[in-house]
Amino acid sequence: MLLACAVSLVASAAFSVMFNAPKKSVIPGGVVGMIAWMLYIGLPAYFHASQVFSTFVAAFVAGAICQVFARIFCMPVIVFSVSGMIPLVPGGTAYDTMRHLAEGSYNQAVQLASETFLMAGAIAFGLVLSGTFIPFFLKRLRKAR
Amino acid sequence: MRRRNKGMYMDNQSYSISDVMELCLLAGKLMLEGGAETHRVEDTITRLAMNYRVETINVFSTPTAIIVSMREENTPSDYTKLVRIHDRSTNLQLITLVNDLSRRAGRDRLSLQEARNELLKIQKSPAVYSTLVHIIAAVLGSGCFTLMFQGSYADFFPSVLAGGVGYSLFLAFRRFVSVKFFSEVVSSFTIGLIARICVHFGFGVQLDKIIIGSVMPLVPGLLITNAIRDLMSGDLFSGLSRGAEAFLTAFAIGTGIAFVIAAG
């Protein structure tokens, strides 16, 4: 568990470096990616949630944290959200789809392809939902204070 | 994006509308080259222009071109200009700096000359990380992703090797070959080949996990995210073209890997 934490943190931070993120945002970007990944593997393991649903939840929570970080560090949201989304990208299923296509087992390929699309859609939906609600919520919070 | 100026602007300097246009287009160009989402590009351009005697402004931005049309106050006609964007990469630092400048220009009341100097300085500033650091990051990222996708510890080093070589090859090709598709196919093919050779000689166990991890640095993560963002915020044109680019990239990676798998 601790290892998964560390590995996903390093991986997400490495991706923010590859995307030329400002130095100050590399570690926070890694933290966002770590949280997204822990939710993504934790929800199916402990709550028997489906893969697509846990992707959605992870994307939503990561998006919300990105919004908060963007305000704390005074940087555009995209700086954090990119490295946060990278662990959720359905690279594994996309690869399996490709492999089955190359091997000629089309039925399985179609099944995997639809799963890939659903997961990509879940990331998008989670991200957009948090991008719509969280700024509204944060504005209310600031006004109340 | 269309807006009408209601605020106050600094009027103590002499500049023409074409200077304002130059400033706005340069800012937009830098942001798009850094991979910013369409909404943010249009927002930055509008925000910048609003500081400098512009009455109305219309911005239309796509991943490959920006069109800006603005009207100076007390003049009857609009002034329109187009700029083409040729190379797009991912540079979040660039986006942050330009976005910062556009906010500062309004808050600190920067003059046009000051704003332009700052922008030119941003344009000339060197990359945040050297190529070597990029490759090290790719190496670390590949290895970690292999572990994350339940690869065994024995798979860590093969994927480090394949990911590092693949990404270096991708960077080198991108510098000399203008067709991005080609460099992606070649580097993913190389990744597949290295992974296969490693597994064949008992250096690494699961071929699939090694390949998935090493291919991650090439995956168009930012493009996909941006495409969806653009579509959802109503910039349909940009969203579709970014989606097409992301699909093409994914297809290129898939093709390179499929060559290796289908080979036997």
Q: If DSSP states are collapsed to H, E and C, what string results for chain B?
A: CEEECCCCCCCCCCCCHHHHHHHHHHHHHHHHHHCCCHHHHHHHHHHHHCCCCEEEEEEEECCCEEEEEEEECCCCCCEEEEEECCCCCCCHHHHHHHHHHHHHHHHCCCCHHHHHHHHHHHHHCCCCCCHHHHHHHHHHHHHHHHHHCCCCHHHHHHHHHHHHHHHHHHHHHHHHCCCHHHHHHHHHHHHHHHHHHHHHCCCCCCHHHHHHHHHHHHCCHHHHHHHHHHHHCCCHHHHHHHHHHHHHHHHHHHHHHHHHHHCC
* Residue B234 sits at the chain A interface (C-beta within 8 Å): no
* Residue A104 sits at the chain B interface (C-beta within 8 Å): no
pLDDT given for residue B165 in this prediction? 92
Q: Which chain A residue's Cα is nearest to B227? A: A124
Q: Which two tokens stand for residue B3?
A: 């807006």
Q: With a cut of 50, list the residues of chain A below it in pLDDT.
A: none
| Set of chain B residues whose Cβ sits within 8 Å of the Cβ of A87 | 145, 148
* Residue B229 sits at the chain A interface (C-beta within 8 Å): yes
* Residue A85 sits at the chain B interface (C-beta within 8 Å): yes
pLDDT given for residue A123 in this prediction? 87
Q: Which two tokens stand for residue B176?
A: 């000399």
Q: How far is A2 from chain B (nearest CA, A)?
A: 12
Q: Is A121 exposed, middle or buried (0-12, 13-18, 19+ CB in 10 A)?
A: middle
Nearest to A11 among B128, B148, B229 (CB): B148
Q: Which two tokens stand for residue B74?
A: 């007390």
* Residue A110 sits at the chain B interface (C-beta within 8 Å): no
| Set of chain A residues whose Cβ sits within 8 Å of the Cβ of B94 | 20
| Set of chain A residues whose Cβ sits within 8 Å of the Cβ of B126 | none
Q: Which of residues 68-97 of B touch A (CB under 8 A)?
A: 90-96
pLDDT given for residue B25 in this prediction? 92
Amino acid at B37: E
Model confidence over B174-214: pLDDT tens digits? 888 878 888 999 999 999 899 888 888 888 788 888 888 88
pLDDT given for residue B9 in this prediction? 55
* Residue B36 sits at the chain A interface (C-beta within 8 Å): yes
* pTM for this model (two decimals): 0.85
CB contact under 8 A, A99 and B138: no
Nearest to A94 among B145, B229, B250 (CB): B250
pLDDT given for residue A65 in this prediction? 93
pLDDT given for residue A31 in this prediction? 92
pLDDT given for residue A93 in this prediction? 82
| Distance of alpha carbon B178 from alpha carbon B96, whole angstroms | 27
| Per-residue DSSP letter, B64 | S
Q: With a cut of 70, list the residues of chain B below it in pLDDT.
A: 1-14, 264
Q: Which chain A residue's Cα is nearest to B219? A: A91
Q: How far is A95 from chain B (nearest CA, A)?
A: 7
pLDDT given for residue B264 in this prediction? 60
